[in-house]
Amino acid sequence: MNLEATIQSVVAQSVKTLYNIDVENNQIQIQKTKKEFEGDLTVVVFPFAKAARKSPEATGQEIGEFIVQNHAVVSAFNVIKGFLNLSIHPSYWLETLDTIHGNAGFGKTLPTGKADTMMIEYSSPNTNKPLHLGHIRNNLLGFSIAEIQKANGWKVVKTNIVNDRGIHICKSMLAWKLFGNGETPESSGMKGDHLVGKYYVVFDKAYKAEIKELMEKGMTEEEAKKNAPLILEAQNMLLAWENNDMEVRQLWKTMNGWVYAGFDETYKQMGVDFDKIYYESETYLTGKSEVERGVAEKVFYQRDDKSVWADLTGDGLDEKLLLRTDGTSVYMTQDIGTAKLRYNDFDIKKMVYVVGNEQNYHFQVLSILLDKLGYAWGKDLVHFSYGMVELPEGKMKSREGTVVDADDLMAEMIDSARETSQELGKLDNCTPEEIESVARMVGLGALKYFILKVDPRKNMTFNPKESIDFNGNTGPFIQYTHARIKSVLRKAVEQGINFGIGIDKSLEISEKESYLIQLLTEFPNIIKQAGEEFSPALIANYEYELVKEFNQFYHDFSILKEDNEALRQFRLVLSASVAKVIKTGMGLLGIEVPERM
RNA sequence: GGUCCCGUAGCUCAGCUGGAUAGAGCAACGCCCUUCUAAGGCGUGGGUCAUGGGUUCGAAUCCCGUCGGGAUCACCA
């Protein structure tokens, strides 16, 4: 039983004995004592004061006395207003630290053989343009959540659905065919995904010019958009693709190949990966046949123009298109197919889609459609809906060239980390490889922490003009603290100090030290909560608080230079434990921590 | 228009399953390296928690209204 639960049960017992009131343990509010007051944990006594018919102060006093008498772990108490502040005996903290120190996987619950499987879909790029900052948030969240769920005992399958077919890629293909002059990644020296993205923009420009021309000839904008030769040709291309036209398929394969090579580089740099990748080109047919089955079973219906729809008005929603007039499939169609294949391929207990909140409606519909098709798990899909990354001017728009490119941003972060390292001269004795490795860790650490520390459900703002900080509440600050601790531990070893032999439980320790231990004890619970709420931000904020506290400790206390051997021993163990929790926690965010920086 | 989300310091964000005087970082200003890494520590200033009401012993937190911002309701993905 953890400390909080112990206190809860003692309080319940005391309230029963003193006032004959029955309270459920979990109804008792325990919180950390605020820093300005003495004590470690605080019981909120207002709820009992009323029933006890006494003032909150008197109630707190009586409960406090009862607890101190009946529980050795509580060494003292004080009451302020209706708050009963309890001081925990130092030996309890020392005992706890010993346990933490001896547990290499502290905080995590590793999956057992019979653990349930959670499939997490993230990334899910289109193959017509390179990844941008929005994708970075998606990828980092997906990867981190996978790590967090693993640490909560789930067996996790990370998956990616690549939107490799559809009208968007036909646009790039068409533009390349018409205006590309055979340009390749090799001939241009461009990364493949960027090259294909370039032709997507080329298409858009030419298409817009055509629309303008048609409108000048008297068409309405809507008519012009539908009748511009380029869009008609792109639609034809999609049709040809679905009909397995050799030439179109060949071009498609070539250009997608360029894109994949580019994506692989980006993913590698970002440090994310997948256990199983699905391609829409391989799942959309299953989707189509599911839709056709739906029509046969009359859950969906076909209109006179041959298009297929689901009527969701009974569910409070609209009608949803599932197959176009020309028989080609849409996004929803392929998502139905992908879902079915996944459940065939894996024994999925929980399916999670890491997809932006702009698609809330889509997933609401998907869930209902799968349910209508007779899949019991349809209703259980989890849409992990995260907020958009916005620029100070608003949403990023690829067509207006305001997107922040993923490759560029990562490279910039690494560059500025390298520059800072050089300026500070911290790595002057290191090999070029070591310097590069640290620059990468720190640059990416800054970026990742910047993204992950904010509540995933909220939109966030990124200002490209202000570079991401390396000081304050940042990834590098946390990494730096780790490096500092490691430096001390290395010196301890050099001096032949062995701190693996346990600590003296009768030591007097400072408030700062016991508070650090208290923070460490919260770590497993933070991981649990982060898993339940799908929130890496909880881990990030916890890490920051821990590190901030540690730095104050580091500033105010000597570790190696402490004369009292037992105290020195204890502080080394404490520092090592903090370093361990930093590393584990940052690992859950997909952030590496350096040994020196 | 329907549905949903958001509004906390100049900026970026915590806090939101109700609890003490609302916290950090950045930016500004000042102090601390002959002491284990100053990517650090300490301090100062900065708030009608959008707004009006309600519930409660107690509201940034829960409920209702108003204002402001965003998303979505495509034969786009």
- Which nucleotide is closest to the Cα of A49 by its C1'? B57
Residues A60 and A169 in one domain: no
* A496 Cβ contact list (under 8 Å, min separation 6): none
- Nearest residue to B40, CA vs C1'? A551
Residues A425 and A525 in one domain: yes
- The better pLDDT of the pair A578, A112 is held by A578
Residues A80 and A171 in one domain: no
- Nearest residue to B75, CA vs C1'? A324
CA A492, C1' B36: Å apart?
A: 9
CA A510, C1' B20: Å apart?
A: 24
pLDDT at A388 > cutoff 70:
yes
- Which nucleotide is closest to the Cα of A317 by its C1'? B73
* Residue pLDDT, tens place only, A416-466: 999 999 999 888 888 999 999 999 999 999 999 999 999 999 999 999 888
Pairing of the two strands A348-356 and A389-391: unpaired
CA A170, C1' B32: Å apart?
A: 63
CA A320, C1' B1: Å apart?
A: 20
**Final residue belonging to a domain, choices A40, A57, A88:** A88
Residue A306 in domain: no
* Rounded Cα distance, A62 and A18, in Å: 8
* Rounded Cα distance, A127 and A259, in Å: 6
Residue A568 in domain: yes
Residues A435 and A584 in one domain: yes
pLDDT at A48 > cutoff 90:
no
Nearest partner of A147 among A480, A542, A518, A592, judged by Cα: A592
CA A335, C1' B23: Å apart?
A: 43
* A105 Cβ contact list (under 8 Å, min separation 6): A584
- Nearest residue to B69, CA vs C1'? A394
CA A404, C1' B5: Å apart?
A: 24
Residues A67 and A205 in one domain: no
Residue A355 in domain: no
* Residue pLDDT, tens place only, A137-177: 999 999 999 999 999 999 999 999 999 998 999 999 999 99
Q: How many domains does chain A have?
A: 3
Other residues' Cβ atoms within 10 Å of the Cβ of residue A1: 8
- Which nucleotide is closest to the Cα of A321 by its C1'? B75
Residues A472 and A578 in one domain: yes
CA A56, C1' B57: Å apart?
A: 10
- Which nucleotide is closest to the Cα of A56 by its C1'? B57
* Rounded Cα distance, A436 and A482, in Å: 18
- Which nucleotide is closest to the Cα of A169 by its C1'? B77
Q: What is the pLDDT of residue A49?
A: 86
Residues A61 and A169 in one domain: no
Minimum mean pLDDT range among A328-332, A477-481, A559-563, A579-583? A328-332
Q: What is the pLDDT of residue A241?
A: 94
Residue A436 in domain: yes
pLDDT at A314 > cutoff 90:
no
What mean pLDDT, rounded, does chain A reach? 93
Q: Which nucleotides of B are covered by protein (CB under 7 A)?
A: 4-6, 11-16, 19-21, 24-27, 35-42, 57-58, 70-77
CA A42, C1' B31: Å apart?
A: 35
Q: What is the pLDDT of residue A106?
A: 97
- Which nucleotide is closest to the Cα of A473 by its C1'? B25
- Nearest residue to B38, CA vs C1'? A424
* Residue pLDDT, tens place only, A540-569: 999 999 999 999 999 999 999 999 999 999
**Final residue belonging to a domain, choices A216, A240, A274:** A274
CA A290, C1' B19: Å apart?
A: 54
Q: Using a pLDDT cut of 70, give the percent of chain A over it.
A: 100
Find tokens 């590069």 and name the residue.
A436
Residues A77 and A174 in one domain: no
A30: enclosing H helix or E strand: strand A30-32
CA A113, C1' B59: Å apart?
A: 47
Q: Using a pLDDT cut of 90, give the percent of chain A over it.
A: 82
Q: What is the pLDDT of residue A253?
A: 96
Distances (CA, A) of A298 to A301, A332, A530: 6, 18, 42
> Residue A388: helix, strand or coil by DSSP?
coil
* A45 Cβ contact list (under 8 Å, min separation 6): A56, A59, A60, A63, A79, A82, A83, A84
- Domain of residue A535 covers 406-588
**Final residue belonging to a domain, choices A88, A117, A137:** A88
**Angle in degrees, CA A223, A224, A229, rounded to 5:** 120
Residue A500 in domain: yes
Find the DSSP H helices in A129-166: 133-150
- Which nucleotide is closest to the Cα of A33 by its C1'? B20
Contact assessment for residue A313 and residue A319, using Cβ atoms and an 8 Å cutoff: yes
Residues A218 and A83 in one domain: no
Contact assessment for residue A329 and residue A323, using Cβ atoms and an 8 Å cutoff: yes
Domain with residue A30: its CATH number is 3.30.1360.70
CA A51, C1' B14: Å apart?
A: 35
- Which nucleotide is closest to the Cα of A390 by its C1'? B70
Q: What is the pLDDT of residue A279?
A: 96
Residue A573 in domain: yes
Minimum mean pLDDT range among A4-8, A94-98, A171-175? A4-8
- Which nucleotide is closest to the Cα of A454 by its C1'? B13
- Which nucleotide is closest to the Cα of A316 by its C1'? B3
Residues A577 and A457 in one domain: yes
Residues A44 and A179 in one domain: no
pLDDT at A414 > cutoff 90:
yes
pLDDT at A481 > cutoff 90:
yes
Q: What is the pLDDT of residue A1?
A: 62
CA A453, C1' B6: Å apart?
A: 18
pLDDT at A397 > cutoff 90:
no
Mean pLDDT of A336-350: 96
CA A335, C1' B41: Å apart?
A: 53
